[in-house]
Amino acid sequence: MVRLRHSPPVFWVMVLIFLMFTGFAKGQQIPQDSRTAHALTEARQVSDDLSNKVRDLLFQELKRGGPAGAVRVCSEVAQEVAQEFRTRTGHSVRRVSIKYRNLKDIPDDYEHKKLETLNLLNRQKNLEKEYFDVVEEEGRETLRYLRPLVIAPLCLTCHGPKEQIPADVKSILSQKYPDDRATDYNVGDLRGAVSVKIVLPSK
């Protein structure tokens, strides 16, 4: 029989980071329209790629330098991964939040409205792991895809109540992000979402 109470601390760190980037609820169904279905597959893949790469780098930084080093991964590496994807595919992917840290994470009007809805659903315990719509933007049908990100215990080191954030982390945040709004979260709060935008091919 496995005795979880004797599991090493690193095991629980891995579990918490996994939960931070993973959803459990059933997502929306794959649409019948082949264009939308293909775009949705792409959106899911890049969302996985972004989450997995940031998670892996976060592991490395936590082992090497602790939470202070992890700040760079969460706030900067995600931007690098997003830019790499945009360059390779021409599509848009980024992390967005109403309570943003990096100015590049400020949501557009669509994302802002959706995040407000997701926050309400999260409070009602009805949050699913993904959401998507096909909308018209600049005369083109566009897939808008959001994968919610929820605060896990480990996240509180950088995103929890200000008085509980370690001094070295707080110092880095104040230097790099003087307009930081991404604090005072509690475990289970909606942090934001991975947002993907793909223009659909013409029919």
Is 25 a domain residue?
Answer: no
What average pLDDT does this structure show over 141-170?
A: 92
Is 97 a domain residue?
Answer: yes
Residue 29's pLDDT band, with cuts at 50, 70 and 90, is low
Position with higher pLDDT, 89 vs 150: 150
Is 126 a domain residue?
Answer: yes
Is 136 a domain residue?
Answer: yes
**Spatial CA neighbour of 147 closest among 111, 201, 178, 184:** 111
Rounded Cα gap, residues 153 and 157, in angstroms = 8
Is 127 a domain residue?
Answer: yes
Portion of the chain with pLDDT greater than 90, in percent: 48
Q: C-alpha distances in angstroms, 15 versus 21, 41, 60, 90, 154?
A: 10, 26, 15, 33, 10
What average pLDDT does this structure show over 126-143?
A: 95
Residue 31's pLDDT band, with cuts at 50, 70 and 90, is low
pLDDT at 185 over 90: yes
Total Cβ atoms within 10 A of residue 34: 9
The four Cα atoms 14, 175, 147, 44 give a dihedral, to 10 degrees, of: -80
pLDDT digits (tens, 9 = 90+) for 60-119: 877 776 777 777 777 677 788 788 878 887 889 999 999 999 899 999 999 999 999 999
pLDDT at residue 32, as a whole number:
61
Is 86 a domain residue?
Answer: yes
Which residue carries 């967005």 as its tokens?
96
Q: For the chain, what is the domain count? A: 1
Is 26 a domain residue?
Answer: no
Structure tokens at 114: 């959706």
Domain of residue 70 covers 9-20+31-199
Q: Is 37 helix (H, G, I), strand (E, B) or coil?
A: helix
pTM: 0.81
Is 2 a domain residue?
Answer: no
